[in-house]
Amino acid sequence: MIALSLAEIAAVVGGQTHDIPDPSTQVTGPVVRDSREVVPGSLFAAFVGARVDGHDYAPQVVEAGAVAVLASRPVGVPAIVVDDVQTALGALARHVVRRLGATLVALTGSAGKTSTKDLIAQVLRHKAPTVFTPGSLNNEIGLPLTALSATEETRFLVLEMGARGICHIRYLTELTPPRIGLVLNVGTAHIGEFGGREQIAQAKGELVEALPSAQDGGAAILNADDPLVRAMASRTKAKVVLFGESAEADVRAENVRLTDSGQPSFRLHTPSGASDVTMRLYGEHHVSNALAAAAVAHELGMSAEEIALALSEAGTLSRWRMEVTERPDGVTIVNDAYNANPESMRAALKALAAMGKGRRTWAVLGKMAELGDEALAEHDAVGRLAVRLNVSKLVAVGGVEASWLQLGAYNEGSWGEESVHVSDAQAAIDLLRSELRPGDVVLVKASRSVGLESVGQALVEAGTGRGVDAR
Ligand SMILES: Nc1ncnc2c1ncn2[C@@H]1O[C@H](COP(=O)(O)OP(=O)(O)OP(=O)(O)O)[C@@H](O)[C@H]1O
Ligand SMILES: [Mg+2]
């Protein structure tokens, strides 16, 4: 964080200082909410959780070097006491980003936020020091904590913004007002909570409503291929930059193809030039993510060549997103078990089909959560797609949604043991342990709650001769 005195922080958050011998003492380290992340100079934000109360850790964080605790009650060690720690954290983030010399880039969308944010960061850091959301910390606590981790040197601050309802994104943009706002797509993730795709579009579009005008440098980066995103152009005063495969996009891809190993390759066109990209990431869905990242980078002054090079070098920074492991025995494991929704299921299955040309392919799939009334139809459609893409074996894992997946495959023409339904992750591991043979490619994917990452992990370890149980 930029150095701030405890007195200044207390004034910014409207808090009372308690047990602070010298209010001019400065916080120089990061602001953290996990006591294990405290380093000398930190400010520790004490949250009251369902199981743990951060206030209980106050003596130990000060012992570890924290300058003070941001707390909702006095704790017997130096503290700034406020009514609500989350609100205070937000106020502090707002104050700090105003003082930073950094350009703020914010992005939202239904699928691919974290993947794209990681791409943007890996491109922009070729140009200047960049701070970005770690993992998927995109809510009202993760966002201010990320913003507060920026320093005087930071030139680009890239923030993932998540929404579970109307006004969520607006709140986040009030804490950290972006100059550049990117909307990736409007899909069906969390549709059950929102009520419908129009409501999701309404919520995501709050990002572009918050941008400054074109004269003040505001830029809305919108997906030309997604009609609900494209329509957000009318909701912003900012300059509109379109990305996508559509001909009207300012930043586009031509000659898109997947290499035999499933990695996208294309010619990147920007308003100021073109250059070729071959990605290290797997799956066609990364083309859209890469174009979005390219549009942001172009807006910030990078050339097509610089962007193409950075995109071609970019790797996965966040786990279980199309994480590919080649086992010594020639089995390829694709662990995409971080999450699943209909769009990402389709993208992953297509990548599996590309990677598995001439090989035996396995799709180990589980439920996609939060689909509301569309759950049955969407699971059925994924089961059918697996068959249409000629996936050799479908293993549907878990409860009733898995049975819909398998039934979809069956109705599309899979027969015999081409599609099976197993009860849980361990049953999937047991089945694959006995069935996999050299040359096979296995995709593992479901919503996070199904916990299929354990299957991916166990299968990777099976190839090294280590333990394979998830029990
Ligand atoms: N453009 C895309 N279209 C469809 N699926 C995608 C896209 N980009 C990534 N995915 C897939 O979607 C899943 C989630 O990816 P990612 O974590 O990047 O999304 P997210 O929007 O950050 O999710 P969350 O809402 O959980 O934060 C992964 O399985 C990934 O492979
Ligand atoms: Mg995310």
| Residue 412: per-residue pLDDT | 93
Per-residue pLDDT reduced to its tens digit, 131-159: 999 999 999 999 999 999 999 999 999 99
As residues whose CB is below 5 A from the ion ligand 2, the structure lists: 113-114, 136
Over residues 45-62, the mean pLDDT reads: 95
| Residue 417: per-residue pLDDT | 83
| Residue 316: per-residue pLDDT | 86
Per-residue pLDDT reduced to its tens digit, 173-214: 999 999 999 999 998 666 667 678 889 999 999 999 999 999
> Which ligand is the nearest neighbour of the Cα of 189?
1
Q: Which atom of ligand 1 is nearest to the CA of 138?
A: 27
Ligand 1 site, residue 118, Cβ cutoff 6 A: no
Mutate to test the pocket of ligand 1, among 115, 229, 284, 368 (most ligand atoms within 8 A of CB): 115
Q: Is the pLDDT of residue 470 over 60?
A: no
> Which ligand is the nearest neighbour of the Cα of 319?
1
How far apart, in Å, are the Cα atoms of 391 and each of 359, 398, 414? Answer: 10, 20, 10
Ligand 1 site, residue 111, Cβ cutoff 6 A: yes
Mutate to test the pocket of ligand 1, among 172, 282, 286, 339 (most ligand atoms within 8 A of CB): 339
Structural domains of the chain in order of their starting residue, each with its CATH number? 4-85 (3.40.1390.10), 100-313 (3.40.1190.10), 323-464 (3.90.190.20)
Q: Which atom of ligand 1 is nearest to the CA of 110?
A: 21
pLDDT category of residue 320 using cuts at 50, 70 and 90: confident
Q: Is the pLDDT of residue 276 over 50?
A: yes
pLDDT category of residue 280 using cuts at 50, 70 and 90: very high
Distance 76 CA to ligand 2 centre (A): 37
111-145 per-residue burial string, b: 16 or more CB within 10 A, e: under 16: bbbbbbbbbbbbbbbebeebbbbbebbbbbbbbbb
Per-residue pLDDT reduced to its tens digit, 370-420: 888 889 999 999 999 999 999 999 999 999 999 999 999 999 998 788 999
DSSP string, 215-268: TTT-EEEEETT-HHHHGGGGG-SSEEEEEESSTT-SEEEEEEEE-TTS-EEEEE
Angle at 267 between CA 261 and CA 270, to 5 degrees: 140
Nearest CA to ligand 1 atom 11: 344
Ligand 1 site, residue 347, Cβ cutoff 6 A: yes
pLDDT category of residue 321 using cuts at 50, 70 and 90: confident
Per-residue pLDDT reduced to its tens digit, 217-275: 999 999 999 999 999 999 999 999 999 989 999 999 999 998 888 899 999 999 999 99
| Residue 350: per-residue pLDDT | 92
Type of residue found at 7: A
Lowest mean pLDDT among 46-55, 194-203, 302-311: 194-203
Q: Are 311 and 294 in contact (CB under 8 A)?
A: yes
Over residues 84-100, the mean pLDDT reads: 97
Distance 115 CA to ligand 1 centre (A): 6
Distance 114 CA to ligand 2 centre (A): 4
Ligand 1 site, residue 264, Cβ cutoff 6 A: no
Over residues 330-334, the mean pLDDT reads: 94
Indicate the annotated binding residues for ATP: 109-115
> Both tokens of residue 95?
């104050």
